[in-house]
Structure 1
Amino acid sequence: MKPMLFILLFSILSCKNDTSGSELNESKDVLETTAEVVDISDIDLDIYDYDGIEPLINIKDDKIHVVNFWATWCAPCVKELPYFEAIHQNYKDKNVEVLLVSLDFPRDYDKKLKPFMKTQNIQSKVVALDDTNMNRWLPMVSEDWSGALPATIIYSGEKRQFYEKSFTKEELESELKQFLSL
Structure 2
Amino acid sequence: MKKILVFIALLGIFSCQNNKSKEPIAENNIVEKQPYALEVHNFDGIQPYLTSNDDKTYVVNFWATWCAPCVKELPYFEQLGTNFKDKNVEVILISLDFPNQYESKLIPFIEKNQLQSKVVALNDPDSNSWIPKVSDTWTGALPATLIFNAKDRKFFEKSFDYSELESELQHFIN
TM over 0.5: yes
SS of residue matched to 1:84: helix
Residue 54 of structure 1 and its aligned partner are, at CA, apart by 0.5
Q: Which residue pairs with 1:6 in the alignment?
A: none
Q: Contact between 1:40 and 1:118, CA under 8 Å: does it hold in 2?
A: no
- The structure whose Rg is larger is 2
TM-score, structure 2 as length reference: 0.80
Deviation at residue 40 of structure 1 after TM alignment: 7.3
Greater than 4 Å deviation, 4+ residue runs: none
Aligned to 2:43: 50
Counterpart CA distance in 1 for 2:33 and 2:141 is 29
SS in 2 for 1:44: coil
Query: 1:137 aligns to what?
Result: 130
Q: TM-score, normalised by structure 1?
A: 0.77
Gaps of 5+ in 2: 1-31
Q: Which of 89, 93, 106 does residue 86 from structure 2 map onto?
A: 93
- Identity, in percent, stands at 57
Distance apart, 1:56 and its partner CA: 1.2
- Structure 1 counterpart of 2:106: 113
Match of residue 96, structure 2, among 87, 103, 109: 103
SS of the residue corresponding to residue 101 of structure 2 reads helix
* C-alpha deviation, 1:57, in angstroms: 1.1
2:172 is aligned with what amino acid?
Answer: F
Aligned residues: 143
How many Å separate the matches in 1 of 2:78 and 2:96?
18
Alpha-carbon distance in structure 1 between the residues aligned to 2:52 and 2:71: 26
User: 1:40, 1:110 within 8 Å by CA — same for their partners in 2?
Assistant: no
Q: Give the 5 Å matches for 1:134-173.
A: 134-173=127-166
Q: Deviations over 1:25-61 (max 9, x none)?
A: xxxxxxxxxxxxxx97430100000000001111010
The one-letter amino acid paired with 2:126 is N
In 2, Cα distance between equivalents of 1:41 and 1:148: 33
1:178 aligns with 2:153: no
Spell out the pairing of 1:28-43 with structure 2 (5 A cutoff): 41-43=34-36
| Runs of at least 5 residues in structure 1 that lack an aligned partner in the other structure | 1-38
